[in-house]
A and B are shown apart, each in its own frame.
Chain A
Amino acid sequence: MIRTLLAAAGLGAALCIAPLTNAAAPAAADTPKRGGILTFMIPADAPPSFDGHRETTYATVHAVAPFYSVLIRINPDNPSSTTDFVCDLCTEMPTPTDGGKTYTFKIREGVTFHDGSPLTAADVAASWQEIIHPREGMSSARESYFIMVDKVEASDATTVVFRLKFATNAFLPSLADPFAWIYKKEILDKDPRWFEKNIMGSGPFKFAGYEIGQSIKGVRNPDYYHKGRPYLDGFIGIFAAKQAVRVDAIRADRAAVEFRGLPPSARDELVRELGDQITVQTSDWNCGNLVTPNHKRKPFDDVRVRRALALAIDSWHGAPALAKIATVHTVAGIVFPGSPLAATKEELQTLAGFWPDIGKSREEAKRLLKEAGAEGLKFELMNRNVDQPYKYVATWLIDEWSKVGLQVTQRVLPTGPFFDALRHGTFDVTVDFNCQSVVNPLMDIGKFLPHSVYAENYGNYDDEKEIALYQALLHETDTVKQRSMIREFEKYVLDTQVHMLMTPWWNRIIPARSYVKGWKISPSHYLNQDLANVWLDK
């Protein structure tokens, strides 16, 4: 439903986002060398299937993205940007016509699938059709992103036309989705589930083997349409769920890199042991842990209690310390830090939980708790069975809360039961999360809207005023006004109502063997993983 709101507003956020500044990507000034096999670790046991249209996990993207092409994508040479979209299979980024409702893409000619057959506009249109309006009996994980699309069609062999129900600038960023792989129409028509267990694309690498639950292999596609790419002869992705193994493997050069993100301790170990043989790239991550109190459970229906929870937390001193041990870094509000829509430090410091004077803040928290009759409150913090940063953040929060007399224990659940508890509201307070791929603040802050509007909100509250505020800021086209409206929304959510609490945003740390070149970090572990630009300096 949020997508409907957004689409109705006819307003994209992507326009007003400046490139990130803190991506410490070293420029690859030297000329790329060809050849070599890249071995990298995939921090998962096994992807559920190879079908990107259906799956949502990085395990599928990291393993399978190198085999496929997409229509458009984030610029692989500038992946930390959130506005720099470029063509992959198309020849030119289109200018919308028909009042912003028609997008016409010219498809490259001479592109072939790995089986040698030509890739045409019909394949592109058919693949997008499956993503946007899957046929009966099939599911698409991203159907709801494309509520604004009326239809996709191939008007001739080299032209794909997207016709929208209404104009919206949110369309292009959504189109750059890293899972939107182009499949062969003939196969899709015969068996729409074929791609769950098989791989056949047109990407920089050809599928060369999969050892179930262990590794996936690709070899260079000599007919790749981006000339001179890929540089690598091939790659091997090794699945390893346990972190210690992945770090050991990089240290012993059994693998060169892991692309999701390792904690600071792993970075420290690798740098200490290997010195300049390791190069570290770091970026703010478009993911964050939130804290959601269950508004249906007493006493969290009382805004004073929720506010006290926020006021007890000292993010300004906590974040720099946590950054040394957990994959979190930047203190920010509801908007991805670095975005021009994000709050400045001064603006933040007016909100509960961000006061500069923590002593005063905690006094206020104690006062509120006393007033609400919740002094020395005992409750359970629910959490997911994930070390980094979920459990680290929770350990910190529990200690912070203890400083205003709250007695908190932690209940950790594996993924399935965790989501089940979230959906059924069987928790007091939970560690929650918001993790998106392409940075798009207006879409991303949907997380804070009530469940009736945004399905993944688990606070169990309704708030007409909040929805009204959100709709107003969505309809606003003036960026300056929009920014101040976001401040108003942020203040309402985090300070007035304290529907949820922020914790420091995640920090993506990628230590790689220094011979790995050409890979640049982005604010999401889903983006920029086709490996076409990666080369080995050996």
Chain B
Amino acid sequence: MIRRILAMTVKELLQLRRDWRTAGTLLGMPIVLLLIYGYALSFDVRDIRLAVVDLSHSRASRDTVQSFLSSGYFRHVATIDDTEALDPLFDSGAAQAALVIPAAFADDIAGGRTTELKFVLDGSDSQTASTILGYARQIVASLTPGLYKVEVEPPIGAAPLVWYNPDLKSSIFLVPGLVAFILMVTTVIATTLAVVREKERGTMESLRATPLAAIELLIGKTLPYLLVASLSATGSLTLAWLLFDVPVRGSIGWLAVLTVIYLAGGLGWGVFLSTLAESQQVAFQIALLSSMLPTLLLSGFVFPISSMVQPLQVISHIVPARYFIAALREVVLKGVGPEVWWNDALALVAYGAVVLLLATIRTVRSL
């Protein structure tokens, strides 16, 4: 059994080495995706164009403006003396936010009275606006705690919708999901194609006439892809650590265990799909759709599961990435052990077992 599996694995690796397109896709795609998504899929807001209306002209007002600018989030674009002049700035997009310091500001502080700062926001992009608002609140709160009351006045009706805690960098949240996404898509596509290719070329018929059992064929065939996908996973996490400062706080061992369970499920799904398709073209499409869409949309990678409509929340329970991402965030970001994420791990094991069983049954029957 071992020899036959080994023969299959060696053959598969040799073919993978010759097929530079597939090999390149398996190893290079994760890196490209990580770079694209890592930089593009950021909910952080930087370089916010800030206009200042300082009616106080005092030291206290200048200090306040300075704290905004030194926070690193804001870039000063204009200082004006009249709130009426703000409108053209917002209309043209020259300013995204404005800080209005009332004339009585310095006196109020000196007299120990409550004073008011006005923060005006362009709310046309509600997500960005709510993020900026979060920054502003933080900065004001850090000035002299309890001293100021912040009043927000969005000129366009903004409905704040807070997705991620704005003071956390969003890449830290996104990277675990990204790793899950990349691994699922590449393993499912690679394994589906690897099996369907044999069918399309006619070599499957010859394989079936040899003593090679269906289970040996499956193990031998998927083992190389498990290997390559594990390499991809390691590369993705290393790159995320180097480029986006995503730390791996938890145990590498647990991380590996979780990843392998998750990959086994993806491989099983790929093999299952391969029993449904006769041509590589069809196989590629069903593999891409069935791995990419659920992992992108229904896993909590980008859109939080709790904010989905009820039917989608129910469906998300059969998306393995949901559990993997949840567990990955716990392990990678918080560094906590299995006592916290054991139920996610269990769900992954269950998913893997069911899918591999289905794949084996289908393969034995269809081969």
**A and B co-occur in one complex:** no
Q: List residues of chain A with CB under 8 Å of any chain B CB.
A: none
Q: List residues of chain B with CB under 8 Å of any chain A CB.
A: none
